[in-house]
Structure 1
């Protein structure tokens, strides 16, 4: 299949000071089963909307294939309709027999297509929408959190179904789903974007190794910077102290000092100052090498919760409490006591 090339992409929402994407470039293949990974708020759904052409951006996104997005929108007035009536609105040109074939792979009866949407469970709606999504041809599919609101059995069915497909981007926080269904990952790190071959677990293993190396390198550079700073300050102190001896001296304590000593002291000071400059250059080099080492390491902050003390030990007390709705035959509860 073809490639999607993103070149120098920048985008930010008008109400935000911080850009979502800034001068981003990468390439993905439309035949991949691509897992899209990143923290909440990093821009995963935003990028899908950029592929769909919903927002204006700077830079260039080059692709030859149309995109389709899951989940399809269901409006309030659509709840009384069935999927057979809505599928043309969801995916123009889709053929019913192809949808039925996809539904059979998902283990559900085509009868679901003719039931009102409001009567379908979340799992049934997901399966119907996935059947419509994959019933087309030559589409690159953008799948956003397909296992939300599904029970374990439905999740397993969706996972098995997607594992047999290709040509999609899958956004999910379900690690098990990503491990089973993807062969490449597109990762929104804290400061960079990367594309890797493999699934979630292989990427996570690589990330842990890279983070450990970056942390060790950062500590090494910090120690070297501290050592250079200490040596530089000592050399600068010596140079200043030495320079101050050029003017004014005690003839009793320095009775052997000659007139030529002034030029000697100046030369010695200049040599010490040169050493200081060398230390400064080495320190700047270490700082430059350290820069960016920790840019993609997630910082976990401690969360501290302090319980507030109330001025009363007992907040609520109920004794022999009963509740009955008006015109009801029986009470909701009777004789309830708690504190």
Structure 2
């Protein structure tokens, strides 16, 4: 059984993203003020169960009560009941997956005298990995991005290159080393909370021939890989390459890559933001992320505008129709003041 303090920490972390938890596990409900209303903890339709979305004088975020049955609990209970889980380890694993938290592992001892150790996959480990990497100019990362049709790389300080990044196969085979693009995942204050790795083919032929050439580590939910500093306007998308492709057309607009559709829907908003462009991918997951993020933005008083590609995503558009055609295609999707502000500079 999980130690009580670990369970409490997981519940607290889930509470920081209570609405995202409810939208995912209690999808038949809806928000009403500071509460999420649904039929019951097993996600039935109805309005008898209330989940507190933000901490208040009445209690912490994530606590819930079912007025019909008198049941009550926290967000871990919601995960258990909605998923039909029995073993608490399975509940904790599901919660960590949702939060994109690393699984707890024993700390590894370093052979270097005086060296400190950190848990594998932790936010501190992600910061160390990024610090050990190098800027991308002249590296395999620059070649990889240009091979994806991305020629404009200014403002990409959140990306670095590691020549020998560890890769652990999912079948528990021997650890390998491959060159990799390392992306810093940061919170709204610029503090690094995680990292994303894209392992690359040493011959410059795209991604490495691995089963999972992309992996993330650290604390991801709500955070993103950021390009530029947002003021009143920014754009947010899923993948790094997709987001950078749009930034080639709008190089002065701040953008953020959330790394997945689920995380895009949960990205946090800068306090100065007035208008958010949602970078859409043409697939069902992209549609869901678009709707979730747009709804959250509008609920926060932020104007949300969806930017849609002609093909599967904006990287496909950039590679197959070219930069000038991409600019022309998105021009009519921008607000007039943003078209004048950003596209004129990019021309």
TM range (shorter): under 0.3
Which is richer in helix?
A: 1
- TM-score for both structures, normalised by structure 1: 0.24
Larger radius of gyration: 1
